[in-house]
Amino acid sequence: MKQKLLAMLAFILVISVFLAGCSDSTSNDEASEEDGNGTTLELWTFNELHEKYFEYMADLWNEQNPDEPINLKGSTYPYEDAHNKLLVALQSGKGAPDIADIEIGKFANYLKGEPQLVELNDVVDPEREFIVPSRLDVYSKDGKNYGLPFHVGASVIYYNSEIMEQAGFNPDDIKTWDDYKKAGKTVLEKTGIPMTTVDVADPWSFWQQVAQLEGKDDLLKENKELNLTSPEVVKVLKYQQELIEEGIAVPAPGNEHHAEEYYGFMNNGGAASVWMPMWYMGRFVDYMPDLSGKVVIKPMPAWEEGGPRSAGMGGTGTVVTNQSENPELAKKFIAFAKLSKEGNIQLWKQLGFDPPRTDVWDDPALSESNQFTEYFGDDIFATLLEVKEEIEGVNIGEKTPEVMDALRTTILFQALVDMKDPKEALKEAEDQIK
Amino acid sequence: MGNSNLEMDRKPALNPKKRVKPSNLLYSQNIAPYFFVFPFLISFVIFFAYPVVSTVIMSFQEVLPGQVTFIGLENYKELWNPTFLKAIRNSMVYTILTLIILIPLPLVLAVFLNSKVMFAKNMFRSITFIPALTSVVVAGIIFRLIFGQQEGALLNSILGSFGIEPIAWLNKASTSMFTLVVLATWKWMGINILYFLAGLQNIPRELYESAEVDGASTWRKFVHITLPLLKPISIYVFTISIYGGLSMFAESYMLYGSNKSPNNIGLTIVGYLYQKGIEQNNLGFGSAVGIVLLLITLIITFIQLKFFGMFKKEEAR
């Protein structure tokens, strides 16, 4: 009898080893639901500022909809991790949040095959006429909208007015990229400080100048074919290479404009200007506090006098996943946060984003002072309205993630650090992506 | 469990009558061995065999959510590209360099730490082992800051005091590989020392004593006693170092803050698998990369074991 008992015990022990691995986490969920009331919605993003914004909007939603309260649980992950985690969760059909942010360069990944996202047309349709159409198109497939935009993402140029004054330049006199180069030379000679920095491990500096080109094509053609070796694109990279050769530009410390090393460098007056989209304002305010009051925002120089001076750059689509248990509520909430008039005003106030809804652009709320006007001065929105008609769009296709990867690893670094012939660098990348 | 095991073995031998009872499977000597390897078999099938088989199948497919299609050898054909070759080269160079450093150095240090004349042995043992306990993520970030390209970064400011210009460590293939190997050396040294120490303590002291009687020098004792008797443990360390080198990913990922390094100088085979399979949502292609990695590792390990004579019949030691 005793042996039998021992054998049974041994058997149970072995089995319990396996069962221990399978225990589910429901007990955790129950505990957390108690500390907030309302339906729990989980949110994943890759930007702390986005998370704060959604939390603010969730409080606002709860005030206005006491009958349908939500309890937003946000998590911020590093850029790559946020996207990979979400992709794996969607691919495997388990573990995805209700709401997630997907950056534009990655969005195409999630539209491959059958998108595992919820179609948003029914919440978009009532507001559709007010939203800049190209901003919805980049997050769509076969006429179905899957993501809601944060902003137009107009690209602008930020001048360090202190350094520009030292060199005796008025940023308003710089109209074209040729002017910019000449001014840069003088700035370098008079102050010893480089005019600008360029991304060599991130697409922004390059993509903005390419998208700004007149016409429908940029890194991809209008029909989503690769366009890396067209003469215009090569010319842009050549221009950047010349800036570096002459010392007017330096590769951004840390290789990109989002590196800790770069923030420190710029904060100490390391370069006289940088061209980045409007949404980069938040980085100035948060990471470069010493430049407060010294930075002015101007439209980008044009390639030719009178040419377009801006491009709608980057962006993040907020999506509802098909694993959400409350997709209707999630949809209503993100529409409230990003499509409503109120939401769009908050997008500007909280995040400094140029809202995608055109009918709020002349709203008095946008000229009120906030943390951004304190840092950059009162005329931010005037600059934006000035280029309103000149904002070029971008083409996003299935090849976009691969093009972005090539820009982050080979093309820019080879042309701007290794000083390889721009045409060759672009050609090699294009051949490989094909 | 150990007790029940013993009793179960003994019982049938003592009581042959009981064994004949067909109902009592629990006491069958024929089933017991299978019963005891059963947990291993289950975990092997679920966590190893099944993933390997499904990876092989996926490597012939295009895998998209809701749409899986067989595309034959398409994924393998696409593998023949400069980026993948670069990833293989990086992984190989890294593996070879870590082997060159992480086998002899820990061996020598282990001999020191095992020596009677060494002082503060336990303190040094702990110090060399602490890095192995650090998470790669933390170590990678700290190394990224140490090897920063600005003048103010730790290493550059030290070099600067000797009048050396700041170096962009992570932007050049040679210096970036150097950084990776330094990181690996710092992190894995302690583990390898531990293995060798265990090996050293198994060497009978009498061998050294009799060598001393014969008048052997310290060097001769090291070459003719220590080294040959450490052979089994050396083969083990060698094999796991090859695995470790070829599967390196996290170190490079953390050093660059993402899987993207300039000119792909930090891209490893696993990094490429991750980039294609996950970052670009092409799991079929990623599986093909994984299968190639498996084959490379198999071939190298096979050659290495053959070279060390592991397939020969065990000779009397």
CATH of the domain at B263: 1.10.3720.10
Residue A371 has pLDDT above 70, yes or no: yes
Structural domain includes residue B71: no
Looking at the complex, does the CB of residue B173 fall below 8 Å from at least one CB of chain A?
no
Dump pLDDT digits (tens) for B265-291: 999 999 999 988 888 888 899 999 999
A84 vs B150, B171, B279: nearest CB:
B279
Residue-level pLDDT at B6: 45
Q: pTM for the full model?
A: 0.78
Dump pLDDT digits (tens) for B209-248: 898 888 888 888 888 888 889 988 999 999 999 999 999 9
pLDDT-based confidence at residue B11 (cuts at 50, 70, 90): very low
Which is more confident, A190 or A3?
Answer: A190
- Nearest-angstrom CA–CA distance, B121 and B113: 6
Structural domain includes residue B216: yes
Dump pLDDT digits (tens) for A192-213: 999 999 999 999 999 999 999 8
Structural domain includes residue B69: no
In this structure, are B45 and B163 located in the same domain? no
To the nearest whole Å, the CA of B278 is away from the closest chain A CA by 6
Residue-level pLDDT at A20: 53
In this structure, are B22 and B149 located in the same domain? no
Which is more confident, A333 or A1?
Answer: A333
pLDDT-based confidence at residue A17 (cuts at 50, 70, 90): low
Is the ipTM higher than 0.85? The answer is no
Angle, CA of B76, B82 and B84, to the nearest 5°? 50
Structural domain includes residue B154: yes
In this structure, are B192 and B294 located in the same domain? yes
Contact B66 A113 (CB under 8 A): yes
Which spans in A36-140 are helix H? 48-64, 79-92, 104-111, 121-124, 133-137
Q: Tokens at residue B67, please?
A: 């749409």
To the nearest whole Å, the CA of B229 is away from the closest chain A CA by 38
Residue B3 has pLDDT above 70, yes or no: no
Residue spans of beta strands (DSSP E) within chain B: 61-64, 67-70
Residue-level pLDDT at A160: 94
Structural domain includes residue B288: yes
Rg over CA atoms, chain B: 26
Contact B150 A410 (CB under 8 A): no
Q: Where is A332: in which H helix or E strand?
A: helix A327-338
What number of C-beta contacts closer than 8 Å exist between A and B? 105
Mean pLDDT of B77-104: 93
In this structure, are B278 and B311 located in the same domain? yes
Nearest CA in chain B to A401: B280
For residue A113, which residues of chain B lie inside 8 Å, CB to CB? Answer: 64-67
Structural domain includes residue B72: no
In this structure, are B163 and B269 located in the same domain? yes
- The listed range with the strongest mean pLDDT (A4-13, A18-27, B222-231, B286-295) is B286-295
Closest CA to A289 of A374, A350, A369: A374
The residue written with tokens 């220590």 in the block is B226
In this structure, are B50 and B81 located in the same domain? no
- Return the residue in A255, A260, A419, A420 with the most chain B beta carbons within 10 A, the one to mutate for interface testing: A255
Looking at the complex, does the CB of residue A402 fall below 8 Å from at least one CB of chain B?
yes
In this structure, are B39 and B112 located in the same domain? no
Cβ neighbours of residue A331 under 8 Å, at least 6 residues apart?
A118, A120, A122, A123, A320
Residue A287 has pLDDT above 50, yes or no: yes
Burial label for A226, CB within 10 Å (0-12, 13-18, 19+), is: buried
Residue B57 has pLDDT above 90, yes or no: yes
For residue B279, which residues of chain A lie inside 8 Å, CB to CB? Answer: 80, 83-84, 87, 109, 401, 405
Cβ A129 vs Cβ A358: under 8 Å = no
Closest CA to A258 of A46, A45, A43: A46
Closest CA to B74 of B232, B235, B288: B288
In this structure, are B205 and B168 located in the same domain? yes
Contact A254 B148 (CB under 8 A): yes
Q: Tokens at residue A404, please?
A: 């972005």
* Least reliable range by pLDDT among B17-21, B66-70, B222-226: B17-21
Structural domain includes residue B188: yes
For residue B273, which residues of chain A lie inside 8 Å, CB to CB? Answer: none
Q: How many domains does chain B have?
A: 2
Dump pLDDT digits (tens) for B195-214: 999 999 988 888 888 988 88
In this structure, are B81 and B35 located in the same domain? no
Provide the pairing of β-strand A196-198 with A316-320: unpaired
Contact A91 B281 (CB under 8 A): yes
In this structure, are B121 and B194 located in the same domain? yes
In this structure, are B157 and B273 located in the same domain? yes
Residue-level pLDDT at A28: 41
pLDDT-based confidence at residue A378 (cuts at 50, 70, 90): confident
Dump pLDDT digits (tens) for A27-55: 444 334 444 578 899 999 998 889 999 99
pLDDT-based confidence at residue A181 (cuts at 50, 70, 90): very high
Structural domain includes residue B66: no
Residue B307 has pLDDT above 90, yes or no: no
Mean pLDDT of A392-412: 88
Helices and strands (H, E) in chain A, number of each type: 20, 13
Domain around B139? 77-316
Dump pLDDT digits (tens) for A54-72: 999 999 999 999 998 999 9
Residue-level pLDDT at B22: 55
Cβ-based neighbour number of residue B306 at 10 Å: 11
Contact A409 B149 (CB under 8 A): no
Residue-level pLDDT at A10: 66
Looking at the complex, does the CB of residue B281 fall below 8 Å from at least one CB of chain A?
yes
Contact A84 B278 (CB under 8 A): yes
Handedness of CA B181, B182, B188, B192 (dihedral sign): positive
Region for residue B95 given its phi and psi (left: phi exceeds 0; alpha: psi -120 to 50; beta: otherwise): alpha
- Nearest-angstrom CA–CA distance, A224 and A232: 17
Q: Percent of chain A at pLDDT above 70? A: 92
In this structure, are B81 and B139 located in the same domain? yes
Cβ B272 vs Cβ B87: under 8 Å = yes
* Least reliable range by pLDDT among A162-166, A353-357, B269-273: A353-357
